[in-house]
Amino acid sequence: MLEGVKHVVLVLSGKGGVGKSTVSTQLALTLKEAGFKVGLLDVDLCGPSIPYLLNLEGKDVHQSTKGWVPVYADEEQKLAVMSIGFLLKNRNDGVVWRGPKKTGMIKQFLTDVVWEDIDYLIIDTPPGTSDEHITVMENLRSVKCDGAVIVTTPQAVAVDDVLREVTFCRKTGIPIIGIVENMSGFVCPTCSECTNIFSSGGGQALAEMVKVPFLGRIPIDPAVGKLADKGQSILVTLPDSELARIFRRLIEQI
């Protein structure tokens, strides 16, 4: 149930693999570090990666008289996490469900989970715009959605996908908090020169074109990749990185 939730932020992307779950996780951790109680809901039913990113694989969701108790990522119980990943026996088990079953599960995530006293609920959505997104919006009901953060990589083709996300938000009345351009160049650790492996600036140009805030660029950073590979995101936020600066700016806007 969402009655105790003060803010809701959706994280969207046009494609998979652009860093949407990384951004969702780091945004949740940055908010937690800033002293807020945070919920992180993974509605990417076919590719749930949040339990892996937070080293929570194998944890169980418990049932209480009030509903499903989310998994807490920390001892102080400041970061509550819910994902289909906790309900699957095996990390690699695929979810082969038709629309209604997926819709039912997302509804349960929003209405049956005890999201108690949550300042910010961050919802990591599947790539694209699908039934899952519409179900989320329908089931937020009384809770105001503060808006969406759209994650893209700089290539033109990814940027085209973002245009679809922008259109979706506008049609469904979701305010767009801003666009983050991830994997934007690689900074050489030896000489500090930035090489734009893909083209660059696409996210910013699109943000200007569709008149939404551009939140910033995150370079390809081996440290970010390692956090995921070791499931260490929960232990190591990146306090001085561009990622952290982007999120501080983002928090000011929510």
Cβ distance to ligand ADP smaller for residue 143 or 234: 234
Query: Which of the 8 DSSP states describes residue 85?
Result: G
Does 56 engage in binding with ligand ADP (CB under 6 A)?
no
Is 71 in contact with 61 (CB distance < 8 Å)?
A: yes
What torsion do the CA atoms of 54, 55, 60, 61 make, to the nearest 10 degrees? 0
Does 185 engage in binding with ligand ADP (CB under 6 A)?
no
End-to-end CA separation in angstroms for the chain? 21
Cβ distance to ligand ADP smaller for residue 77 or 130: 130
Cβ distance to ligand ADP smaller for residue 67 or 231: 231
Tokens representing 200 are 């660059």
- Minimum distance between the CB of residue 182 and ligand ADP, rounded to whole angstroms? 5
- 209-248 mask for ligand ADP (x: CB under 6 A)? ---------x-xx--xx--x--------------------
What CA–CA distance (Å, rounded) separates 112 from 121? 15
- 15-54 mask for ligand ADP (x: CB under 6 A)? -xxxxxxx--------------------------x-----
Q: How many CB atoms sit inside 10 A of residue 99's CB?
A: 11
Tokens representing 6 are 């003060």
Contact residues for ligand ADP, defined by CB under 6 A:
13, 16-22, 49, 182-183, 218, 220-221, 224-225, 228
